[in-house]
Each structure stands twice: as C-alpha cells, then as structure tokens.
Amino acid sequence: MTDVETPHAASEGEPRAEVRVVDAPLRPPSDTTGLMEVFRRRYLLRLLVKREISARYQGSFLGLLWSYINPLSQFLIYYFIMQIVIGRGQFENFAVHVFCGLIVVHFFTETFNAGTRSIVRNKSLVQKMAVPREMFPVASMLVSLFHVVPQLVILVAVSLLYGYTPDPGAFAAASLALAIVMVLGTALALLFSTANVFFRDFSSAVNILTNFTRFGVPMIYPYTMVQERFGSAAEYYLWNPMANAVLLVQRGFWVGTTKDPEETARVHLPANLFELGLWSLLGSLVLLVVAQRVFSRLEQRIPERL
Amino acid sequence: MSDSIVVDHATKNFTLRYHRTLKDITVAMSRGRAISDTFQAVDDVSFTVGQGESIGLMGLNGSGKSTLLKLIIGVMRPDSGEVLTRGRVSGLIATGAGFHPQLTGRENIFLNAAILGMTEQETKAKFDDIVEFAEVGRFLDTPVGTYSSGMYARLGFAVAIHVDSDVFLADEVLAVGDRPFKKKCLERMQEIRHSGRTVFYVSHSAGSVRKMCDRVIVLEKGRVAYDGEVDAGIRFLKYDDPGQPDLDDEIGADI
Ligand SMILES: Nc1ncnc2c1ncn2[C@@H]1O[C@H](COP(=O)(O)OP(=O)(O)O)[C@@H](O)[C@H]1O
Ligand SMILES: [Mg+2]
C-alpha cells in the first residue's frame, strides 16, 4: 500500500515531468466531413460491418451457410411456382428472370430498412462516442452488399446450368446495377435514419414502402408487358433507377441463359439500357449529395433525441 | 503553454418533450397546453484550459457535467457559443459504450479501440497492455454479455486509457470497479497527467480530485459556479469530510 502511495505524495507540488507540445490547430471537436470521414475511418467501418455480420450468425450451427440456403430456397420456390405451376412456357427461364430482380430488390430493401433503423439501433454509440454518424447507414449498406455475394454465386451457378456463357457486357451491366443500388440505398438510408430518430414511425413507413418495390420493377412481370400496356408512357417507368438496376442484372445473367440472347435483349430490354443505367447512377448520386446535406443539418440534434 | 480546450459562452438547450404521440399532441393543443419546453443544460459556460492542465469538474447530479463533456468530445454541438479543442480528444464518457454483448472481450477491444480512433497497428501494439490492465484473464474470449458490470467497466477503461490522446476525459468512470482497480486507474491517470496530457476528470470524490487535479470547475444548474484552486473548490462544494479516507470516498459517490 505505502509504496504505491509514495509516488503520488512525492509528485504533489512538483513541476510537470513533461511539456507536451501539440502540433494541431484549435478546432470544433464536433466538426466532421460526413461521408468523407466515413471513408477516412474505414478500418472502424470494416469492424462495424464485421460485428454486424458475426452477430447475426451467432449461436447458429450452419452460420454463414444460411446466406446461401435462403436465396437458394427462394429460387426454388419461384422455379416451382413460375415455371411449373403457372407455366409461363412462352417466357424462357422465367425463374432466372425473377431471381435477377429478387437480388436487386432484396439488396435495396435490406439497405433501406436496416439503414433507416441503424442510428436508433446504435444508440449507445451515437450518444456517447465521437463517431461520424454516417457510419451506421453506410455499414448497413455494406452488410446488405455482403449478403448479395452468395445470391450472385447461386445466380451464376443456376445460369451456368442453363448454358450461360459470361461476357464483358454482362459484367459491366451487373456492376452498374450494384453501383446504382449502393448509392441509392445509402442516400435513402441516410435520409430516413435521421428522420427515424425524431419519429420512430419512419421505420414502419419505410417497411411498407419497400414492400412496393418488387412491384415497381420488372421482376414478376417482364418489361415487355409494361411496353405493351403503357406504350410510350413506358419511358416514365424507366425513370425509376431500381427498374433499370433490375433490367441491368437481367441483361447480365438472364439474357445469357436464353437460346438466342441477342433476340431476347432486343425484345425484352430497352435499347439504350446502359445509357439509362448511367443516368440512374447519376440521379442516385445527386440524391446522395442532397441526403448528406440534410443529414448534416439534422444530425446536430440526434444524440439528445435518441 | 498553449490552449488545449477553449469553451466560449457555450450553451446547450434540451427540449423537455411532454407529448410525443399524435394523440398526446392533439390533446395538449386542444387544451392550450405547451407541447414542449426547453431548458439550458449548459448555460453560457466559458473557460480555457491550457495544455497539460488537469481539471476536476464537479457539481451535483444533473448540473450539466456530462453534457459539457459531450460538447468537448464532440458528440454534441453547442447551440450557441463555441467549443474548441486542440489535438486528439478521447476518454470515457460511459464505460464500455459501444461494447457489443455478443462479441468476445478480444473482439470488443479491437472494436472499441477503433471507435476511440486507434488504428489496427496501434491496437495490436497495445493489445497485451490492455488485456493486462483489464484483468479479465481467461474471460478474454467469452462474450462480454456474460461479464460482471465491474469487468465490463474494466475492459472499457483499459481500452480508453491506452488511447494516445492529447486530451483525456473521464466521466464518473470509477464509480463501478472494485477498490484495487480504482487505485490502479487513478495511478494510470496520474501517469497520463504527468506525461503532459490535458486531463478533464468528472468526479464526486473530493479525495481523488485533490490528488489528480490542479484546478476545479464547479457547475451549478449548467452555469460555472466556481473555477479555481482545488481546495477552495472542494470547500465551495462542502464535500470535504475529514473523516473519510482518500480512496474510499470515491466509492459509492455516484449514485
Ligand atoms: N438528451 C437529453 N434530453 C433532455 N434532457 C437531457 C438530455 N441529456 C441530459 N439532459 C438533462 O440535462 C441535465 C444535465 O444532465 P447531465 O449533463 O447528464 O448532468 P450531470 O452529468 O452533471 O449529472 C439533466 O437535467 C438531464 O436530465
Ligand atoms: Mg453525468
């Protein structure tokens, strides 16, 4: 006891052992650069994403295998219903068509839903630690993106069974589609995660909203049907970035599984699909910038409202 | 001596929300009652702390100490006035905030260190020291959800104390933890103080403030009621109880 106390007693009244010179400017500690800050602290982001993923499969025997079983069972359900029960014979490999859409829609709704709840869910961190708060919606998006991988693996495997041969265009189309959903999902997650802090109603509303997503995209119906029913108004249908993302993934995989890919693409996809995709990406980026602006303004009142 | 923390007429308002649901709001409006009311948790506070100073922040519960610390660490932003800091600020506002109960102690050390701004290399280099300091022994690889609250706190404190910051904040963190651990923490904070880092220490314990700090700031209802020399500050609070031994009065001081 005494020998521990001695240095204290001795140090009292003594001059400081060191003078620390801090070579930094005085600045407001709450200043962050938003999404740039998230990128700067990507090590933390990686750990948060890992935490989320490993927590989800905690205590599960099959663990990550579930992320393969889920999409596979979904595919089989659609295969059974669409191809065998309803028997849309005139439409080639309709289950693959649906599955392409399902992956995109799922990625989007997961990002949107989990992202909207992310800040409230990480309450204790947000209230007590100096972490850029954009971190949480972005992490939600990355967790959802992580779950896209097994779905893509299954999609590729199924497509190969149908005699699919990959081409560079397919790769570009799928990448563009993912980029659109990543940006759009993050933008909406940013916007609604703050809103959800003020009124928890938003997470319920978003949940309902996302239920509609699958009907607003050419997934369980082909794009040709939209064209037939709405004629020139089908152009407005393609203002929806999600519709383009789905069509791009179908361009990437489903088209390649049909007997005559060129003919399928000509009949079932808009001619300027890549152009539309790039516009969708641009639109989503603009929304992301707006979302970041709104987030920065609302964020100041987040910790006390939680 | 350069300025480390500058707080200039900082004010933080909170809203007391009486009514939240649609029903409550309609009822309140129809009866002409206020829907919300604001108050100042930190009210026009100004002070400057030089690099290397060690400040004891004292005051009754609810006087705004934690809120002030949140302004300094940057979790909250003042509604008016300004708060400026120099260099890296870190510390513990709440022990183990950000711990994930399902992750093991080891995983949580890495996660918490990253939250506090440490890089992977830094954490790896200090990992053994952190584990040794936390004394969680073979529970290192069990989920922290099963830890006792003392162990939880020890782990949180161990990580925070190893961050190489220029300003170290501690908010009533020693209120949990057992006596030997408290002693160890105070020693460690003493080291931090002697390495020239600025220390901002919230405590109700006159004894540990006297040992740790060279200046006391007392908050009363969000305003600075006293700012100056330690002994006079403690007398100002009438906390001084000569019958109490130094370390023991930290115990049970924050309820
Ligand atoms: N998020 C919040 N919303 C509304 N009031 C709050 C919030 N956080 C703290 N307060 C109030 O602010 C006052 C000061 O709180 P705090 O800074 O925690 O005090 P201390 O740490 O000195 O005990 C208290 O009256 C508390 O109820
Ligand atoms: Mg407090």
What is the SS3 string spanning B186-246? HHHHHHHHHCCCEEEEECCCHHHHHHHCCEEEEEECCEEEEEECHHHHHHHHCCCCCCCCC
Q: Pick the closest to residue B68 from B182, B244, B218, B248 (CA basis).
A: B218
Residues of A in contact with B113 (CB under 8 A): none
Percentage, residues of chain B above pLDDT 90:
53
Q: Parallel, antiparallel, or unpaired for β B54-58 and B215-220? A: parallel
- Other beta carbons within 10 Å of A264: 20
Contact status, residue B101 vs residue B27, Cβ threshold 8 Å: no
ipTM for the whole complex: 0.86
Distance of CA A255 to the CA centre of its chain: 24
**Angle, CA of B250, B14 and A115, to the nearest 5°:** 95
Domains present along chain B, CATH in parentheses: 89-164 (1.10.8)
> Where in A52-200 does DSSP place strands (E)?
none
Long-range CB contact pairs, A195-203, < 8 A, 24+: A195/A116, A195/A298, A196/A116, A196/A117, A196/A119, A196/A120, A197/A119, A197/A120, A197/A298, A197/A302, A197/A305, A197/A306, A198/A298, A198/A305, A200/A120, A202/A116, A203/A113, A203/A116, A203/A117, A203/A120
Contact A29 B2 (CB under 8 A): no
CA A4 to chain B, closest CA, distance in angstroms equals: 8
For residues A84 and B137, the model is more confident at B137
Any residues with CB less than 8 A from the CB of A243 and at least 6 apart, and which?
Answer: A216, A217, A218, A223, A237
CA distance A171 to A256: 12
**Closest by Cβ to A22, choosing from B6, B86, B119:** B86
pLDDT for position A23: 83
Mean pLDDT of B5-20: 86
Please list all protein residues whose beta carbon sits less than 5 angstroms from ligand 2, which is an ion: B 66
pLDDT for position B250: 46
Which CA distances in Å does B68 have to A124, B92, B171? Answer: 18, 13, 10
- Secondary structure of residue A249 in the 3-state scheme: helix
A15 token code pair: 């001059």
Residue numbers of chain A with a pLDDT score lower than 50: 1-15
Counting from 1 in the atom list of ligand 1, the atom nearest the Cα of A127 is 1
Per-residue pLDDT tens digits for B164-187: 899 999 887 777 777 888 888 888
Contact B73 A300 (CB under 8 A): no
- The pTM assigned to this predicted structure is 0.89
Nearest CA to ligand 1 atom 16: B64
Q: What are phi and psi of A87, to 5 degrees?
A: 60, 60
Mean pLDDT of B130-156: 89
- Secondary structure of residue A51 in the 3-state scheme: helix
Q: What is the separation, in whole angstroms, between the first and last Cα of chain A?
A: 44
State which of B14, B36, B40 you would mutate to test the pocket of ligand 1, scoring each by most atoms of that ligand within 8 A of its C-beta. Answer: B14
pLDDT for position A165: 86
Q: What integer best gives the mean pLDDT of chain B?
A: 86
Counting from 1 in the atom list of ligand 1, the atom nearest the Cα of A305 is 1
**B122 pLDDT above the threshold of 70:** yes
pLDDT for position B186: 87
Contact A128 B15 (CB under 8 A): no
Nearest CA to ligand 1 atom 9: B67
pLDDT for position A6: 37
CA B97 to chain A, closest CA, distance in angstroms equals: 6
**B218 pLDDT above the threshold of 90:** yes
Distance from Cα A4 to the centre of ligand 1, integer Å: 37
Going B125 to B126 to B131 to B133, the CA torsion angle's sign is positive
Question: Within an 8 Å CB–CB cutoff, is residue B40 touching chain A?
Answer: no
pLDDT for position A9: 41
pLDDT for position A254: 94
pLDDT band at B4 (very low <50, low <70, confident <90, very high): very high
Contact status, residue B207 vs residue B46, Cβ threshold 8 Å: no
pLDDT for position B21: 79
